Each structure stands twice: as structure tokens, then as C-alpha cells.
Amino acid sequence: MSPDEYCQSKAVQSGSSFYYAFLFLPPERRQAITALYAFCREVDDVVDECSDPSVARVKLAWWSKQIDALFAGKAEHPVMQALAPHLESCRITAARLHAVVEGMEMDLDQSRYLDWPGLRKYCWHAAGVVGELSAGIFGYTDPATLVYAEKLGLAFQLTNIIRDIGDDARRGRIYLPVDELQRFDVKASEILDSQHSERFVQLMRFQTERARQHYREAVLALPEADRRTQRPGLAMAAIYYALLDEIERDNWQVLDQRISLTPIRKFWLAWKTWVSGGRGLVKRLSA
């Protein structure tokens, strides 16, 4: 199995929405974004699959060394070998890849966040910087596109947090600011025990509006000159925004189930957004 085939396998097996947004890219850029996704999947799996934090730290340290090896021309892991040909053309930097690993390390250090600024920092490491890396792979001419990419990454992560509240709670993690839990009178124990209530619904409505605001800010920040090249991100936004709508329609029943879209719906949303250049999504979010 070649490095590119290894990364493609990781993307397909995950069933992630990202896979559908990548389908319409030219081969070279599709290989680059698939390799980036595989890297993110690898380091994220370290935290999710290692029950011993000390073992997870050792593995993440190994990935940090792999990043340094990549930029020294000595890539060993298939994911790094797949990334290697794209470093310069796609503006992939060691600092941004290290920031992703640092985000995973944050998961080992804390499972609660006191306020939104603290959670936002985590979201940047987990997804905002990935948005910036992705923008480089898709191609951009205006530096303002990085603002769009970061905000879109944050919107994706906030959507993930809302969708995965139950799964995360079963791992002992709650990615909701403590001060906001207190504001809506929702106890951490209620989330850990999957207790759905009207107070929880109000809390989720607040979190959902924050996510939607980030989608709006992202779309408004995207320069017209780069809208065509950034269609994969807009396709992802269409899929994730539809997921957010679905979660709201289900009254945020996320504590004991994982709400998702069907593969055919993801494909349809990605294709429609790609063909239209994201005009429908941009119009909706800009209204």
C-alpha cells in the first residue's frame, strides 16, 4: 500500500463528511488534503484510543518528532510521506502541524473549560489551524482567506462539540464552558448521566447560535477572489450546517445518540455547493 493509498483508506473508513467535500478536487490537491486529514485522524486517535495518558503523551511526542523529520526530508510514517510532496505548494508549515498535536495534548491535560476564551483556544488547536492548513491546500491569493478558514474551522469544531456531547461525556469530557453551564443551571453530572431537560435545550440553543454565528462570520470574511478555490470548505460548511439544523430539529437529543446525515445527502450537498460555487450557502448565511 502506497502512502497515498494509506491516507485514502483512513479517509474512507472514517465515514467523515470531509471525504465528500474532497471528491471534486484535482488529484494533487485531493491527495494533499486527504493526507492532512489522515494526519489529524492519527493524532486524534491517540487520545481517543489510549486509556493511559502517559502512553498517549509518548505517542504524541513521537508524532511531534515525525513533523520535524518531515521538514528535514526524513519522513517515515506513510501519512508524513504522503504530505511531503505538498509542503511548499500547499503552504503547509511545521508550526501549524505542531499546533494540531498541541491541541490533542490539551485533551490529556483538561476535560473542562471555565469559559469561552479557554474553549476557543482549544477549538483553534483542534480545528481553526486545520482550517488554515486546508485553505493553503485549496489555494488562495488574499491573506484574508485565512480569517475565513480559521472561523470556519471553529464553526466545524463547535458543531462537533454539539453533536458529540454524549460520546464525549462517556469519556469523561465536557466541552462546554463551566460558566455557561452555570448560567443555564445545567450541572455537569446531568450531562454525564444523559439527563435531557428544558434547561439543557436552552443551553444547546445558545451553543448552536454561537456555531451559526461563526459560519456567518466565516462566509462574510471570504474574499470573492478566492471563493472558487475554497469550494471544498464551503461544501463542508453546507454539510455541517445541515447537520446543525438536523440536531435542532431533533431538539438536541444528543446525550444518548449521535445524529448524522446519510452519505447520499452529504454527497448531494457537497456536489450542489461545488457546482454553484457555494452561492446558495453564502446567500443563506449572509441574509
User: What confidence tens digit (pLDDT) does each residue in 230-255 have?
Assistant: 999 999 999 999 999 999 999 999 99
- The C-alpha atoms of residue 37 and residue 127 are separated, in whole angstroms, by 11
Same domain, yes or no: 125 and 185: yes
Same domain, yes or no: 215 and 176: yes
> Residue 176 corresponds to which cell in the numbers above?
462546554
Report the amino acid identity of residue 159.
T
User: Where is the domain boundary, 90, 109, 128?
Assistant: 109
Same domain, yes or no: 57 and 143: no
pLDDT in tens, 185-209: 999 999 999 999 999 999 999 999 9
Question: What was the pLDDT predicted at 49?
Answer: 82
Same domain, yes or no: 213 and 280: yes
3-state class (DSSP) for residue 229: coil
Same domain, yes or no: 95 and 121: no
* pLDDT exceeds 80 at position 105: yes
pTM of the model: 0.93
User: Where is the domain boundary, 93, 109, 125?
Assistant: 109
* pLDDT exceeds 80 at position 286: no
Containing structural domain, residue 92: 1-109
* pLDDT exceeds 70 at position 14: no
CATH of the domain at 15: 1.10.600.10
Same domain, yes or no: 160 and 282: yes
Average pLDDT along the chain: 93
Question: What was the pLDDT predicted at 96?
Answer: 97
Show Cβ contacts of residue 157 under 8 Å, excluding neighbours closer than 6 positions.
Answer: 123, 126, 127, 128
Same domain, yes or no: 74 and 90: yes
**What would you measure as the largest C-alpha separation in the chain, in angstroms?**
55
pLDDT in tens, 118-174: 999 999 999 999 999 999 999 999 999 999 999 999 999 999 999 999 999 998 899
pLDDT-above-70 percentage for the chain: 99
Eight-state DSSP code of residue 180:
H
Place of cell 491516507: 7
Where does the pLDDT of residue 271 fall: very low under 50, low under 70, confident under 90, or very high at 90 and above? very high
pLDDT in tens, 209-219: 999 999 999 99
Q: What is the mean pLDDT of residues 53-66?
A: 95
